[in-house]
Amino acid sequence: MRAASVLLGLAASAIAAPSPSVESRDNGGDQFTLGQPISKDGKGGRILGGTNKELDLQNPDNLGQQSTDAGIVPNLKWSFSDSKTRILKGGWVREQVVTDLPSSHDIAGAQQHLKKGAIRELHWHKVAEWGIIYNGRITVSAVDENGVYQATEIGYGDVWYFPPGVAHTVQDRVCLPHLTAAPFPLTLPTPKDILAKNFGVPESTFKDIPAANPYIFNAPVATKNVTGAVTPQATGDASFVYRTLQHPPEKIGGTGGTFYKIDSTNFPISKEIAATFVTLKPGGLRELHWHPNAEEWLYFHKGKARATAFIGNGAARTFDFSAGDTAVFPTNAGHYIENTSKDEDLVWIEIYKSDHVADVSLSQWLALTPPEIAAQTLKVPVEFIEQIKREKQVLIE
């Protein structure tokens, strides 16, 4: 069966630094990629106490590899692999919430996996929900306050958005993993006599209604469509669904990959959450930039990456990312994202609590500043400033 996926007191003693080893010489004199905090200029020393070697190897920048890191920067990374997985009859879910990644004030995320036919129970939220399919196919169904409804099948790369209060559910068609945001389930502890009176049916109709929140449960794949509706279906600009890969990517500067924007400018219903779906070629760079209107929450779907966040007052910290990691860059924090693989694309999703995606490019700012002023500030040749491209490069090859 195929599966689908949707789409945070010590004492010290002095230890003599070891002499450079063959391993260190093979790595340009440092040993960060070997899991040791030893720089080529002799700083640091071998870890002799307890450590998680695998994590050290995955995170060389946590060992001090990036020499420009400085000051105090809070943790901006959380892996879904560190989240508690909730096992359910119809699949599983694992979440990243503010207690996992306190720096993420605006967005909480979840990975959900549904078996074929499994249903994410009927529910609604106090906040907007945004989701993306990164494996498999599902049917999404929603109804708003005016009775506008939609039930449609979506697949890889497709996005749904449900405004606050919109009632909805999803059912897997071929076995699903996906990425999504606390629900009010239909199976609230409402007295059965009240349910019977509300729907005009015998109380016995509800003899088997679940007493607790089932969350994700098994069911046969639905085959019947809604009939006899007197309210319209959601279509066009009113649709709850955006089929990302059926649209052309954004026309951007740079040839380093593809950049899909999903916000209220092309997905009108999505007024509280904006997003991008990005693919960056091996060795490519998401140019230095920052976001003036919202925190940037990221989910890395494929590949390996490095990013440095500059939060002001000279404070900067570099992080290493792998598939399944989430991250957040604070509003107006400068950063870049680099694909550190030589042969694999880097694929990630950005989400913002905003109606539109916005960023300020460092290169474009310098290019549109009087050349002598920019050159004198950075202590670089004025000719360098004059040759910077005037348009954003976004994804650099």
Q: Please give the annotated binding residues, written as ranges.
A: 123, 125, 129, 168, 289, 291, 296, 335
Within its chain, how far is the Cα of 386 from the centroid? 36
Read off the tokens for 311: 């939060």
Q: Which of 272, 287, 295, 350 is catalytic?
A: 350
Instruction: Output the furthest CA–CA distance in the chain (Å, rounded).
Output: 83
Cα separation, 329 vs 309, in Å, equals 7
Q: How many CB atoms lie within 10 A of CB 202?
A: 10
| Pairing assessment for the beta strands 149-154 and 91-96 based on DSSP bridges | unpaired
What b/e string do you get for 83-101 counting C-beta neighbours within 10 Å, with b at 16 or more?
Answer: beeeebebbbbbbbbeebb
Q: How many CB atoms lie within 10 A of CB 347?
A: 20
Cα separation, 329 vs 237, in Å, equals 30
Cα separation, 154 vs 241, in Å, equals 8
344 is catalytic: no
**Number of helical H runs and strand E runs in the chain:** 6, 25
Read off the tokens for 181: 């945001």
Q: Which residues are part of a known binding site for Mn(2+)?
A: 123, 125, 129, 168, 289, 291, 296, 335
Cα separation, 39 vs 65, in Å, equals 7
- What is the phi/psi pair of residue 197, to 5°? -65, -40
Of 96, 77, 99, which is closest to residue 85 (Cα–Cα)?
96
Is 182:95 a contact under the CB 8 Å cutoff? no
Cα separation, 239 vs 150, in Å, equals 8
- Helix, strand or coil for residue 228? coil
Read off the tokens for 357: 């995606």
Active site residues: 350
